[in-house]
């Protein structure tokens, strides 16, 4: 006989959350047994979602560790980003130019 059961017990938090969701969606005239069955279905859905998220996190962690093992080669192959002021010089220049044009336009219209 195995020492640990193959079926993992469900956390109390998941059970409470599933029951809360089942009660929120409860219809008039629905009995407690039906609500309990809905709660079980929601609980299974939550468990499946958590398993999928753990799997995705494991894969992401494996890729991250693999990249770390490869070392600096990965970091050197990436192009370096330009500093903030170099990337945004043109839009600021155009904004300044538009304001100067607006001020000159209003000054000349006032004279007319």
Mean pLDDT of the chain: 82
CA angle (64 as vertex; 69, 62 as ends), nearest 5: 95
Residue position matching structure tokens 């044009």: 101
| pTM beyond 0.85 | no
| Residue-level pLDDT at 26 | 85
pLDDT, tens digit, 9 for 90 and up, residues 63-93: 999 888 887 554 555 556 666 656 677 888 9
Distance CA 13, CA 20 (A): 10
- Do residues 35 and 26 make contact, with C-beta atoms less than 8 angstroms apart? yes
């Amino acid at each position: 006989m195995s020492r640990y059961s193959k079926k993992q017990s469900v956390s109390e938090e998941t059970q409470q959350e599933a029951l809360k969701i089942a009660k929120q969606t409860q219809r008039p005239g629905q009995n407690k047994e039906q609500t309990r069955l809905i709660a079980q279905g929601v609980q299974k859905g939550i468990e499946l979602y958590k398993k999928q998220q753990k799997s995705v996190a494991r894969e992401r962690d494996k890729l991250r560790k693999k990249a770390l093992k490869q070392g600096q080669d990965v970091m050197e192959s990436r192009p370096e980003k330009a500093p903030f002021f170099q990337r945004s010089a043109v839009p600021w220049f155009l904004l300044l130019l538009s304001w100067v044009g607006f001020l000159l336009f209003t000054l000349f219209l006032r004279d007319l």
